[in-house]
Structure 1
Amino acid sequence: MSEAHAATGGPARRVPGAGALASELRGGVVAIGNFDGVHRGHQAVVETLSALCGAEATPRLVLTFEPHPRTAFRPQHPVPRLTPAPLKARLFGHLGVDAVVEQRFDMEYASHPAEAFIAETLHRDLGARHLVVGYDFRFGARRQGDVDFLRARGAELGIGVTSIAPFVDEGGNTVSSSRIREDLMNGDVAAAAGLLGYRWTIEGTVSHGAKLGRTLGYPTANMVLPDDGLLAHGIYAVRLRRADGTLHDGVASYGRRPTFDNGAALFETFLFDFSGDLYGEAVSVSLFGFIRGEERFDTAEALVARMDVDAQEARALLAGARPLSALDAAVAF
């Protein structure tokens, strides 16, 4: 992603469905996809969108679907989300997108034929002037619509279509949300960041815990992650952003505290050189590096000794960190 195409403003406007789009946002260029992660491939889509808009004041829109279509079809096996909708809108805002249209995706919507998706969602509701889609984009009931159909029908309605090839990394492998999920499940947040183009970030509200960390000399800001299966349990070097924009380095433990209670998974962040109260505050935490896996210690003293080493390693890692991109600079620096 080039520096020129990263914005520094607030989040993109969130629109609850194509039918709710404001009149001033109609007639824009629309990128269509799930965009979970807003990874380097998705950022390339936004680059194409921006190029098509040029210097004109053309609305830059992203059409995505909530919940993830795979979750709608198989609710018993929901897709672990890399970027929930609020964070996705914030990332797209940094990339210069004006609005993210969050189209409700349920079985009734999935039953609409491909023709209806084009005529109603894209033409009638969005007033789309041009579309940007992946080369293998499929849509409509039973995935009957493809890019050729979209291009032919769109031409009749005055809608242009640009399809783009998969985005590959430096090793020639396609960048995908599934690869990033696999990296996170293995604790390899550095590899995930390489595919994302920024440090993977979580958002949440700081909650009260058992306050075990306080008794050990390591008071923590606690968060519950929405999906316990997405990130490997372990110790991470992190940077926390408060609601006022201030940044604080720290070390985080994600897991079930096997030395004590082996309870529900909790993300616990100890901030270096910080003594304030974060309870009830909405924060974001960016993960910079994996230090070690979760362990059980025989004594609390042994755990504290290891936590001292973890904190030193996290400080060293964070001291040498540099932005991976303009988006990373906006999110984690």
Structure 2
Amino acid sequence: MRTHFHWTGLPDADRGASVAMGNFDGVHLGHQAVIAQARRPGAPLGIVTFEPHPRQFFAPQAPAFRLMNAEARTHRLEKLGVDQLYELPFDAVLSGMTAEEFVSEVLVAGLGVSHVTVGADFCFGKGRKGNVDTLRRAGEEHGFGVTIAELVSFEGEEISSTAIRTALAEGRPRDAARMLGHWHRIEGEILHGDKRGRDLGFPTANMGVAGLHLPKLGVYAVKVDVLTGLHQGTYDGAASLGVRPMFGENTPNLESFLFDFGGNLYGEHLSVALVDYLRPEMKFEDLDALVTQMRTDCDRARAVLGDL
């Protein structure tokens, strides 16, 4: 997959794709349906998306809501067989374009799209004044095809990033996974922590979660993909998502303990899949009680993951 961070100056080989367009936060089953309908014989499959998410641009102080950072979204789209990813900078220039300007300057002059597929609720352009009817008319004028994908339902309800956030906030990662079509993952670089876990016999890989919607804080059974370095591969594990109440008030992070692993992961990138919620965060009487609970957590996680 080739990734582009602007719409200008692209070589001919990177233009002319049949694209699915949207924010694709989570790349859930509804998004996947849009992407599937964007496939056209003889044309590369492309994605037009935006970074940061427009909601972040317009309300930077609002609570974090994203299910995925850009890195995780890119990895998921690559797994779906996308050929060209156009991750456009959502800034004052792009946000100030009318729907008509976006079509003519970005989609036509810049990307040279052959076909555009969007969800039925798609809106675009300054003030979100453009909609699917605007896009259809623009396609007729500029000579590219347009497909409007119907919304997808799950157990009688429309699949949405909002519904997935709710499931995660309530500690229901399996329900979230059924709407996503994959495990919910948190991805990023391993950071140096306080190394308390190593001292307790449970060395953990620590990751920041800033900017992401926080699932319910607590301990999870996880599948961990090591994406870079000498130890690339998939490992079972247990992870704590939270503020570490035994050690004062802390910024939330994700600490993953990989079973049967003894390598160094500092500076590498991990993808941690939340499989099952085991228990909430707790504050223990002493470190011995904490270690006893951690052993229990790992046993439970092994049992859960062994049943997959």
TM-score by length of 2: 0.94
Matched, 1:134 2:123: no
* Identity across the alignment (%): 43
Deviation (angstroms), 1:20: 4.5
Deviation (angstroms), 1:59: 1.3
The answer to whether the 8 A contact 2:69-2:212 is kept is no
Q: In 1, distance between residues paired with 2:48 and 2:220?
A: 34
The answer to whether the 8 A contact 2:67-2:212 is kept is no
Q: Which of 49, 55, 59 in structure 2 is aligned with 1:74?
A: 59
Q: 1:228 to 1:109 in 2, by over 3 A?
A: closer
Q: In 2, distance between residues paired with 1:191 and 1:280?
A: 32
Q: In 2, distance between residues paired with 1:209 and 1:69?
A: 32
Match of 2:164 in 1: 180
Matched, 1:293 2:280: yes
| Letter matched to residue 189 of structure 2 | T
Match of 1:117 in 2: 102
| Letter matched to residue 92 of structure 1 | L
Q: 1:72 to 1:228 in 2, by over 3 A?
A: closer
Q: In 1, distance between residues paired with 2:251 and 2:129?
A: 43
Q: In 1, distance between residues paired with 2:259 and 2:169?
A: 26
Structure 1 segments of 4 or more deviating over 3 A? none
Matched, 1:30 2:36: no
Match of 1:41 in 2: 30
| Letter matched to residue 123 of structure 1 | V
**Deviation per CA, 1:7-31, whole angstroms, max 9, x where unpaired?**
xxxxx32210222433212112111
Deviation (angstroms), 1:90: 1.5
The answer to whether the 8 A contact 1:134-1:165 is kept is yes
**Deviation per CA, 1:70-114, whole angstroms, max 9, x where unpaired?**
111112216522122222121111111112111111233222122
Q: Which of 95, 114, 135 in structure 2 is aligned with 1:150?
A: 135
SS at match of 2:186: strand
SS at match of 2:158: coil
| Letter matched to residue 225 of structure 1 | V
Match of 1:261 in 2: 248
Q: Which of 97, 107, 115 in structure 1 is aligned with 2:82?
A: 97
**Deviation per CA, 1:94-153, whole angstroms, max 9, x where unpaired?**
111112111111233222122111111111111111110111222222222222222122
Q: In 2, distance between residues paired with 1:255 and 1:126?
A: 42
Match of 2:293 in 1: 306
Deviation (angstroms), 1:229: 5.0
Match of 1:106 in 2: 91
SS at match of 2:211: coil
SS at match of 2:162: helix
SS at match of 1:150: helix
Q: 1:111 to 1:78 in 2, by over 3 A?
A: farther
Deviation (angstroms), 1:228: 6.4
Greater Cα shift, 98-107 or 118-127: 98-107
Higher strand share: 2
The answer to whether the 8 A contact 2:169-2:214 is kept is yes
Matched, 1:217 2:201: yes
Structure 1 unaligned segments of length 5 or more: list them.
1-11, 322-333
Q: In 2, distance between residues paired with 1:192 and 1:278?
A: 28
Structure 2 unaligned segments of length 5 or more: list them.
none
SS at match of 1:259: helix
| Letter matched to residue 112 of structure 1 | M
Cα RMSD (Å): 1.6
Q: In 1, distance between residues paired with 2:62 and 2:8?
A: 29
